[in-house]
Structure 1
């Protein structure tokens, strides 16, 4: 009996070892500081609405993951170079299409240029060369700024994180920045500075960008779980306190069109 019990115990231990070896590797989620989506809370932990949505999906799928909050350009480079990484929240541009596997969308942005109210009221009095823009490195908005004639080193400041452009504007070091009009509306206030919505820049859905080495079947499970979060109301429950109704409705229309 002891021999039999020992035999079965060996089988159990062997099965455990095999399960451990064949378990899917942990996913490393990379993002930037961008409240209320993702930020460091008072307890020193990564938190935010998008973080909570991802954690909900993680629980549904039984996945293992960890988060890192980095400057956007650094997060982008790591996502391109390392396996088992997921970059978020990411604009799906033609240049990036083949670099990642895409899950989403999980956000919708109406990006517009904001500038000083006097520029909006009297645009003919302000030559583009007199206005200094700000965009963040490796972002989709940076390319659009360059298309409009803004040039780094001349009339464009390029920073590491999106919120730094808002700080630049507050300090009077930038007169043109890009913001999501769905969130900020007609005016953006920071300190003693007020910026007004000026002109459209681009519309975009934002995604989770999975590294190419991750099995397609695993990525599809994340896509299915995200879809379910929209269908069962989880997305709306998590989003409605922090995100505008227009954005939530735009996302719901996107997913409803899929069914």
Structure 2
């Protein structure tokens, strides 16, 4: 009898746990926070999520998708999360939130050679065409502010390319992604002039409402632990050397 019980116990250790479903973790192409390089997902947010997966022990599958597709899936499918998402009043009731994992400041940028001066939101609204991806929350925010000079584009690369070639006067983006976005469009940070900061954003991992709340709470506890033990700060320093966390 004892041998039989021992055998059952050993089999139980070898079998996978079916107590919780595999989580589908979605992200978008947004260097340096998340991107694909040589077929592998990399980036600041990817490293944070990977450490959370390691600490929670949850089974996951990670995919990179266009933002609109990922946003649709996390709104409708169980056991799904999307990172990194700005937490807003409009989105608050739609998801379960873990974070913040990153904070950013959004500014207007112009070519230095244009000698443009932007001291107020009114200046930005009257300075000529302002390009940014139409799927960004920033686009929605500026629309609500009454901006009528917005030009929606499909990607940040196209936004920067249009600025480089003088097709638009301004772009709007965040400090944490600026360098990579400029590089993708053929510009350097020294080519642009930073203007007014008009939005502070907190980025989260957004879990679907159909995900087990206990799992989500465990992710938040582990993230809080990463913040306390310094591992979150180490990841930040690796991806943003010289920058300071707010």
Please identify the structure whose Cα radius of gyration is greater: 1
- Number of residue pairs matched by the alignment: 238
Corresponding position of 2:29: 33
TM-align CA RMSD:
3.2
Counterpart of 2:96 (choices 72, 96, 101) is 101
**In the alignment, is residue 72 of structure 1 matched against residue 67 of structure 2?**
yes
Would the alpha carbon gap of residues 184 and 35 (structure 1) be closer, same or farther in structure 2, given more than 3 Å must change? closer
Would the alpha carbon gap of residues 137 and 85 (structure 1) be closer, same or farther in structure 2, given more than 3 Å must change? farther
SS at match of 1:241: helix
Would the alpha carbon gap of residues 101 and 38 (structure 1) be closer, same or farther in structure 2, given more than 3 Å must change? same
Q: Deviations over 1:55-112 (max 9, x none)?
A: 1111111111122212222221121121111111111111100000010000001111
Map 1:59-138 to 2 at 5 A: 59-117=54-112, 118=114, 120-121=116-117, 128=125, 131-138=128-135
Q: TM-score, normalised by structure 2?
A: 0.81
Distance in 2 of aligned mates of 1:164 and 1:28:
29
Q: Deviations over 1:113-139 (max 9, x none)?
A: 112343534889x89466112222332
Q: Return 5+ residue gaps in structure 1 as ranges.
A: 251-259
Q: Return 5+ residue gaps in structure 2 as ranges.
A: none
Q: TM-score, normalised by structure 1?
A: 0.78
Would the alpha carbon gap of residues 165 and 122 (structure 1) be closer, same or farther in structure 2, given more than 3 Å must change? closer
**In the alignment, is residue 24 of structure 1 matched against residue 20 of structure 2?**
yes
Would the alpha carbon gap of residues 182 and 33 (structure 1) be closer, same or farther in structure 2, given more than 3 Å must change? closer
**In the alignment, is residue 172 of structure 1 matched against residue 166 of structure 2?**
yes
Would the alpha carbon gap of residues 244 and 11 (structure 1) be closer, same or farther in structure 2, given more than 3 Å must change? closer
SS at match of 2:239: coil
